[in-house]
Structure 1
Amino acid sequence: MSGGITFIDPMAPRPYNGAPGGLAGLGGTEATLVKIAESLAGHLRVTVRQAARQGDGLSGRVRYAPLDLGRPLPEAPGMIVVLNSWKVAPKLARLNPGARVVVWQHVFPGRHNRALAPRLKAAGVELLCVSAAHADWLRGFLGADAPVIGHIHNPIADDLAPDDTPRNPDLLLFASSPHKGLGQVFRRFEALRTDFPTLRLAVADPGYLAWPTGPVPEGVIPLGRLDQPRLIGWMRRALCLFYPQDQFAETFGLVIAEANAVGCPALLHRGLGANDEVASDPGQCLDTADPQAIAARIAEWRQTVGQRPLAQAQPRFRMSRIVDLWAGQLPEAPARDPHVPIHPAEKEKGTA
């Protein structure tokens, strides 16, 4: 049997899958790959190959297998999706000439990648980014040497929605690795507390990277690593995600999209990475170098909390929509499994 899709992860430090605990200590990129792979497996044959894996395994309907870059992939996939590696993709294109090969880019590449771009282009390898802002940046970065570049957003669950959990006007939430500007967030939270001394900042750290942040201000609640249900619970209770930093640009920003989906706004720096694209309304993005702008937005949200959800989901990020877009990337779109329900947004075809 040929066809289907194979995801290639040549970089993860250990094997992983979608079983309970299978992603412990890893980041959002690996978690997103698992979600996409397991959702696509309801439509077509999906294999995930990892350089760190020694033996085959099955999680849900997805086969997890080792990676051998010395021979063609035995499953003969119609599409090969390589996670971030510009060096591995041309090798796979040569070994599997019948497959469409795509680098699924989750990060902003370094300057050394410019020299690799002509090799991707010559091999017919494409680049797939996680937001339009990410794709636009990459086109400008590579210039005339750019291969074909597209984007498909990262997904949020179809059932994420506001509920009747009371929202605490004194609770802010930071839910990312500390290297994503937490030191700057601490300083801006400390300044904000001069106007709102009862504010608290809960910090959920996935724990995969230690990072210096400077002194921890009063009012910070360390949460450590949270599983997804507990993190969503904090998003339901918090006044907002508190991300007033301009040092780290997100290529997508999944926690922003998830928080918005349960009615929690995010306080973001305007024009940074994909912030303006992912936030569900422009009022979440401002100049976070301006402490008065931060204080004014927090005051506004505190006054209206409890009257209505302060944010909403963007339907184009829903999993059913994203899975349909992924399935449509195959050279020949597969027949849909009749047991998999069709979401209304899936009627819109395209590349996001």
Structure 2
Amino acid sequence: MIALVDPCCARGYAPDALLAGGLGGTEATVLRVTTALSRDIAVVHFQRGRTFAEDTAAGWMRPLEDAFAPGVAPTIVVINAWKVACKLRKAHPDARIVLWLHIHPGRHNRPMAQALADAGVEVVCVSASHATSLRRFLSDGPALAISHIHNPIARGLAPDGTPHDPDRLLFASSPHKGLSQVFARFRAARAAIPTLTLAVADPGYLAWDTGPVPDGVTFLGALPHGALIAQMRRALCLFYPQTHFSETFGLVMAETQAVGLPVLAHDAIGANAEVVSSPGQLLDASDDAAILARLTAWRTNRPTVTGNPAFTLDAVSDRWRDLLHAPRAVAMERVA
């Protein structure tokens, strides 16, 4: 049995939210992985903002405060909140505790290395580049057991022959992930190609000031996952030329690759190069001339891209099973 503790979500969530839309990438990943693991492992979730218990395909859902009751599970996986992981160690001295990190910790979190080492907490990041970045960030502290398991894409994603519109670009992320810069790059590209349009699919979980909206932009709002995939199939590319937000994984980019949609994004940031592995998609996202040249070429001859089999749900859930079944002593030897 494992316990998933999410102290960061705004409200409780369950598998039906995957279809309804408006769910963040972290929550979607948690639900997909635990639904797969629940076939042979008992899973219980403890979620901030949840006021009632329910049984779901991803496991039993309970309020966050119940996680501190005695004997909740021999293995506890905590989402993002390292301080909560350390508090849980006091409540569960004999449990194996894993911090499943989906974010880059801020500078004020440097003490986390010593705290996690003292509490015997392992860390799982969501990409190799994320793990490397975390090791660098914590290099002045004691060594930690840091590994990575990629986030999974939804099942069944593949190209289906849907015709694409060479004038239609798509941005499909929360606006804090560089949308103001994306607007600036789109405005410059549209000055040269006036027929370009940009569809913005915003999951809606975070309000963000992105400045003036350029002509040619359409807001799609929070879409159900199937509707978002349909938007991906129609577009020329995922338009993500921003240099400010560093993706720890980039689930949207992984899913667009799986359905055959190219990604136009910055080369030297976050996990972009790890997730967008087919050549010719990454560039200097501050270079308007390079962006225009890429779009012009793709409008005539769009590249063929493919998904990475390492990101499939079966591959990812197998990685989690290997980690969860490994003896704790072995797992704690996975030090940078």
- Give the TM-score of the pair, scaled to structure 1: 0.88
Deviation at 1:24, TM superposition (A): 5.8
Q: Does 1:328 align with 2:325?
A: no
Residues 259-268 or 110-119, more deviating: 110-119
Q: How many Å separate the matches in 1 of 2:243 and 2:25?
A: 20
Deviation at 1:66, TM superposition (A): 2.1
Specify the alignment match of 2:35 in structure 1: 38
Residues 308-323 of structure 1 aligned to structure 2 (within 5 Å): 310-323=304-317
Residues 319-328 or 282-291, more deviating: 282-291
Specify the alignment match of 1:114 in structure 2: 110
The question of whether the paired residues in 2 share the 8 Å contact of 1:19 and 1:59 is answered with no
Q: How many Å separate the matches in 2 of 1:238 and 1:24?
A: 19
Specify the alignment match of 2:13 in structure 1: 16
Specify the alignment match of 1:296 in structure 2: 293
**Corresponding residue SS for 1:166:** coil
Q: Does 1:126 align with 2:122?
A: yes
Q: How many Å separate the matches in 2 of 1:51 and 1:233?
A: 32
Deviation at 1:158, TM superposition (A): 3.6
Task: Report 1 or 2 for greater relative contact order, CA contacts < 8 Å, sequence distance ≥ 6.
Answer: 2
Q: How many Å separate the matches in 2 of 1:234 and 1:25?
A: 15
Residues 80-159 of structure 1 aligned to structure 2 (within 5 Å): 80-145=76-141, 146-159=143-156
The question of whether the paired residues in 2 share the 8 Å contact of 1:276 and 1:282 is answered with no
The question of whether the paired residues in 2 share the 8 Å contact of 1:86 and 1:113 is answered with no
Q: How many Å separate the matches in 2 of 1:133 and 1:76?
A: 30
Deviation at 1:72, TM superposition (A): 4.5
The question of whether the paired residues in 2 share the 8 Å contact of 1:5 and 1:47 is answered with yes
Counterpart of 1:123, as a letter, is A
Specify the alignment match of 2:172 in structure 1: 175
The question of whether the paired residues in 1 share the 8 Å contact of 2:3 and 2:46 is answered with yes
Kindly tell me: are residues 20 and 109 of structure 1, through their superposed partners in 2, closer, same or farther at Cα, counting changes over 3 Å?
closer
The question of whether the paired residues in 1 share the 8 Å contact of 2:181 and 2:242 is answered with yes
Deviation at 1:94, TM superposition (A): 3.1
**Corresponding residue SS for 1:282:** coil
Q: Does 1:269 align with 2:237?
A: no
Q: How many Å separate the matches in 1 of 2:173 and 2:64?
A: 30
**Corresponding residue SS for 1:193:** helix
Counterpart of 1:298, as a letter, is L
Kindly tell me: are residues 208 and 256 of structure 1, through their superposed partners in 2, closer, same or farther at Cα, counting changes over 3 Å?
same
RMSD of aligned residue pairs (Cα, Å): 1.9
Counterpart of 1:132, as a letter, is A
Kindly tell me: are residues 162 and 22 of structure 1, through their superposed partners in 2, closer, same or farther at Cα, counting changes over 3 Å?
closer
Q: How many Å separate the matches in 2 of 1:295 and 1:24?
A: 32
Counterpart of 2:37, as a letter, is L
Deviation at 1:209, TM superposition (A): 1.2
Q: How many Å separate the matches in 1 of 2:182 and 2:300?
A: 23
The question of whether the paired residues in 1 share the 8 Å contact of 2:101 and 2:123 is answered with yes
Specify the alignment match of 1:342 in structure 2: none
Q: How many Å separate the matches in 1 of 2:70 and 2:146?
A: 24
Counterpart of 1:237, as a letter, is R
- Identity over aligned pairs, percent: 52
Question: Which of 255, 278, 289 does residue 252 from structure 2 map onto?
Answer: 255
The question of whether the paired residues in 2 share the 8 Å contact of 1:193 and 1:199 is answered with yes
The question of whether the paired residues in 2 share the 8 Å contact of 1:100 and 1:331 is answered with no
Q: Does 1:217 align with 2:214?
A: yes
Q: How many Å separate the matches in 2 of 1:20 and 1:69?
A: 22
Kindly tell me: are residues 223 and 72 of structure 1, through their superposed partners in 2, closer, same or farther at Cα, counting changes over 3 Å?
same
Counterpart of 2:287, as a letter, is D
The question of whether the paired residues in 2 share the 8 Å contact of 1:301 and 1:310 is answered with no
- Give the TM-score of the pair, scaled to structure 2: 0.92
| Structure 2: tracts of 5 or more residues without a match | 328-333
Specify the alignment match of 2:24 in structure 1: 27
Counterpart of 1:227, as a letter, is P
The question of whether the paired residues in 2 share the 8 Å contact of 1:199 and 1:219 is answered with yes
Specify the alignment match of 2:330 in structure 1: none
The question of whether the paired residues in 2 share the 8 Å contact of 1:69 and 1:91 is answered with no
Deviation at 1:195, TM superposition (A): 2.2
Equivalences, count: 327
Deviation at 1:29, TM superposition (A): 1.1
| Structure 1: tracts of 5 or more residues without a match | 334-349
Specify the alignment match of 1:283 in structure 2: 280
Kindly tell me: are residues 188 and 75 of structure 1, through their superposed partners in 2, closer, same or farther at Cα, counting changes over 3 Å?
same
The question of whether the paired residues in 2 share the 8 Å contact of 1:245 and 1:269 is answered with yes
Deviation at 1:46, TM superposition (A): 0.9
Q: Does 1:227 align with 2:224?
A: yes
**Corresponding residue SS for 2:306:** coil
Kindly tell me: are residues 71 and 105 of structure 1, through their superposed partners in 2, closer, same or farther at Cα, counting changes over 3 Å?
closer
